[in-house]
Amino acid sequence: MGTTAEARDPRSFLDPEVWEREITLMLRDHVMVRDMAERIMGQAVAYLITAMEHPNTDMGVGKVVDIGVHTLILDTKTYFAFCEKYNGGKYKHHEPNLVRRRDGTVFRTASVLRDNGFAVDEELWSMDSADCSPCDQKAPDSH
């Protein structure tokens, strides 16, 4: 009988009070229930950590997970500290494309997260599979 490795927990990358702050911001700014906000934030953190750990991998999120990414990025002091801690002290920029890519990036990104040890919320990633990422990882040190 083989041993299954435990998935990395996105919550472990934010202090509990910071996690609560980000969820509260999502609930304030978006029409959603707490469970959905927590699912989205978990996938957003998994995405950002993976983007920082694999800077040369082409990745991007769909509209739903992007809500969490933007919530964290727009909380600038929190995001700056997050980058300091998990990106070797360097700020990870966000440089969106003007149009969404329709090249399968969202599905590929879900696989990259899974390969990086995170559980993937298949429902959230498949919701946007046809309307792919607006992120441009080609800009220096951006996701």
pLDDT digits (tens, 9 = 90+) for 27-78: 999 878 999 999 999 999 999 999 999 999 989 898 899 999 999 999 999 9
State the pLDDT at residue 131. Answer: 54
Residues written for the chain = 143
Query: What are 63's two structure tokens?
Result: 């509209």
* Residue among 20, 134, 15, 115 at smallest CA distance from 67: 134
**DSSP alpha helices (H): ranges in 30-121?**
34-53, 63-74, 76-86, 105-115
Q: Is the confidence at residue 19, as pLDDT, over 50?
A: yes
Q: Is the confidence at residue 16, as pLDDT, over 70?
A: yes
Q: How far apart are CA 44 and CA 74, in angstroms?
A: 13
C-alpha neighbours within 13 Å on the C-beta side of residue 140: 1
Q: Which tens digits make up the pLDDT trace of 79-116?
A: 999 999 999 999 998 877 777 777 778 889 999 999 99
- Identify whether the C-beta of residue 54 lies closer than 8 Å to the C-beta of residue 116: yes
State the pLDDT at residue 53. Answer: 97
State the pLDDT at residue 139. Answer: 46
State the pLDDT at residue 132. Answer: 53
